[in-house]
Amino acid sequence: SQQGEEDPQALSIQEGENATMNCSYKTSINNLQWYRQNSGRGLVHLILIRSNEREKHSGRLRVTLDTSKKSSSLLITASRAADTASYFCATDVRDGNKLVFGAGTILRVKS
Amino acid sequence: NAGVTQTPKFQVLKTGQSMTLQCAQDMNHEYMSWYRQDPGMGLRLIHYSVGAGITDQGEVPNGYNVSRSTTEDFPLRLLSAAPSQTSVYFCASSYSRGEQTQYFGPGTRLLVL
C-alpha cells in the first residue's frame, strides 16, 4: 500500500478560493515533499518540509507537518485557474533510499 | 541544461516484445530513479540508483531491468512486455540521496497490446 495517501482525491473550487489538500503517511520520515503535475507532463517540485519543521511557506503555498499524527497539509491561497493540476505528496522514508509518492489530489480551479 | 530527457515519448509494443526506455540527465546527479504512473495509483518506484554501477529495486521491479554504467544515463529495460506494463513511465534524478528534490523527465507513454 502507499506510504503517502492524499485526501481528498479530487477538489473543485472557484478562482480566488483557498485549496487545502492533506497527506497521511505510515512510517518515520526524513522529510516530506509536495509536487505538482499538469496534465500529460512530468512532476514539478513545489516545497520540501523537514521532519523537524512544523510549517513552511513559499509564495501562495503553505505546508504544515505533524509528525505525531503522521500527516501534512498543503494550502494554496487565492487559487488561480493555472493551479489546476494534480498534487502529490512524497515521503523521504527514514532508513530507506527512496521517495514514496501518494496517489495524488486532482485540483480543478474554475474561472 | 536540458535537464532530464526521456525517449521515446510514446511506444506501442506487442506482448512478449522487449524494449529499452532511455533516460539521461546533464545535471551531474548521483541519484536516478524510474517510476510508473497508473490511474489512481500515483507513482510507484520501479528501480533506483545511488550512483554509477549501483542499482537497487523499488516497489514494483518485476519485469524490468536497469543498469547504470555512467552518471548521465539510466536505461530501463522491459524484458518481455505484458499488457500489465501499459503505463506512463517517468525518470527522475536528484543531487544525492539525502534531502532530495527530484527533477522529472517528461515521461514515456507505453501501450502493450
Q: Which pLDDT value is given to residue A96?
A: 67
Confidence label for B51 from pLDDT (cuts 50, 70 and 90):
very high
Average pLDDT score over residue span B4-22: 97
Q: Searching chain A, which residue's CA lies closest to the CA of residue B99?
A: A31
Q: Decide the pairing of beta strands B103-104 and B42-51.
A: unpaired
Of the pLDDT bands very low, low, confident and very high (cuts 50, 70, 90), residue A3 is low
Q: Is the pLDDT of residue A99 over 90?
A: no
CA of B87 vs chain A CAs: smallest distance (Å): 12
Contacts of A28 (CB under 8 A, 6+ apart): A51, A93, A94, A95
Contact residues of A toward B, CB < 8 A: 2, 4, 30-31, 33, 35, 40-45, 48, 50, 88, 90, 92, 97-104
CA distance B98 to chain A (A): 8
> In this predicted structure, what is the pLDDT of residue A104?
92
Tell me what pLDDT residue B98 has.
65
Share of chain A above pLDDT 90, in %: 77
- Model pLDDT, residue B66: 98
Give the model confidence (pLDDT) of A30-63 as tens digits: 899 999 999 888 999 999 999 999 999 999 999 9
Question: What does the block give as the cell for A2?
Answer: 502507499
Q: What is the pLDDT of residue A98?
A: 78
Q: Please give the order of strands across the beta sheet that includes B4-7.
A: B4-7, B19-25, B76-78, B64-66
Interface membership of B90 toward A (CB under 8 Å): yes
Among residues A86, A82, A111, which one has the least CA distance to residue A101?
A86
> Do B104 and A88 count as a contact with CB atoms less than 8 A apart?
no
Q: Which of A2, A50, A99 sits opposite B102 (nearest CB)?
A: A99
What is the pLDDT averaged over residues B56-77?
A: 96
Q: B69 pLDDT exceeds 90?
A: yes
Backbone angles phi, psi at A81, to 5 degrees: -55, -35
Percentage of chain B lying above the pLDDT 70 cut? 97
- Asked if B102 has any chain A CB less than 8 Å from its own CB, the reply is yes
Highest averaged pLDDT of the listed ranges A86-95, A96-105, B13-22: B13-22
Question: Per-residue pLDDT averaged across B89-108, rounded?
Answer: 88
- Pick from A101, A105, A106 the residue to mutate for testing the B interface (most B CBs within 10 Å): A101
User: For the residues of A1-40, what is the DSSP string, one character each?
Assistant: --SEEEE-SEEEEETTS-EEEEEEESS-EEEEEEEEE-TT
The answer on pLDDT for B99 being more than 80 is no
Pairing verdict, β A105-110 and A10-14: parallel
User: Is B50:B30 a contact under the CB 8 Å cutoff?
Assistant: yes
pLDDT at A5: 82
Q: What angle do CA B54, A99, A38 make, to 5 degrees?
A: 120
Determine the straight-line distance between the first and last CA of chain A, rounded to whole angstroms: 36
Separation in Å, CA of A25 to nearest CA in chain B = 14
Query: Taking Cα atoms as reference points, which of B74, B32, B69, B72 lies closest to residue B52?
Result: B69
User: Chain A residues with CB inside 8 Å of B98's CB?
Assistant: 30
Among A30, A43, A98, select the one facing B45 at the smallest CB separation: A98
**Chain A nearest C-alpha distance from B109 (Å):** 9
